Amino acid sequence: MAVKLSCLILFFMLIESNVFAYQYQVGNLQAWNIPTSADPKVYTNWPKKLTFRIGDSLLFLYPPSQDSLIQVTKESYNTCNLKNPILYMNDGNSLFNITSPGVFYFTSGASGHCEKSQKLQISVYASDGSLPEPPAYGPSGALADSAPSYPTVFGGIPTGPSPSSSSSLNIKTSFLIAAVIGVLVCGLASGKI
C-alpha cells in the first residue's frame, strides 16, 4: 500500500509543474501601491523569488479611485514615462495573463508613483530556457504597423512557431516518457506488472 501511495505522489509531482498555472498577487501585498520605507524594494525583490510561466497571471489590487496599472516599454519603465502605454487598466482588480515568454514592464499610472518605485519587471522564459526579445515598438510606444492595433490585454501578441518549438516538443516528449517509466517502475515495485 505504501508503494502505491508513493508512486501516486511521485506521479502527481511529475505532472504538477507542467499542468498548473498560478495566479500571483503582485508583491504578496494587500494592494499595488507605493512601496513602504520598511520594504522599499518590494517590487524589485518579489519577482526574483518566483519562476513565471506561460499560463500564469499577475493580480494587481488597488483602489481604482487612487491608482491604475499600465504596461510599458523598457525605455518607458526606466524613465517613468507614462505616455502611450501598451496597456492601461484601472478597475482596481487588474489581471494580466502571461501568454508568451519575454520581459514585461509595469508601473502605476498615477503621476509620481513610478518615481517612488511602484513599478515591476518580470521575466518569462520560453520552454527551452531562452528569453525572447520584446516586440518592436515605435517611438510612440505603440506596436509596429505590422501588428494588430488592439491593446495587449492578455500578455504579448503570440508569434508563429519558431525553430525552438521542436525543442519544446522534445522536452514535452521527454517528460511523457519519464512519467510512463515512473508508472512502470512503481507497478513493478508493487508486483502488479
Contact 78, 115 (CB under 8 A): no
Residue 140 has pLDDT above 50, yes or no: no
The pLDDT tens digits for 141-191 are 444 443 333 344 545 444 444 333 333 344 455 555 666 676 767 677 777
Residue 56 has pLDDT above 80, yes or no: yes
Residue 81 — φ and ψ, nearest 5°?
A: -85, 115
DSSP per-residue letters across 117-182: T-EEEEEE--TTS--PPPPPB-TTSPBPTTS-SS--TTSSPP----TTHHHHHHHHHHHHHHHHHH
Domain boundaries, the chain: 21-162
CATH topology (fold) of 21-162 = Immunoglobulin-like (2.60.40)
The model's pTM is 0.65
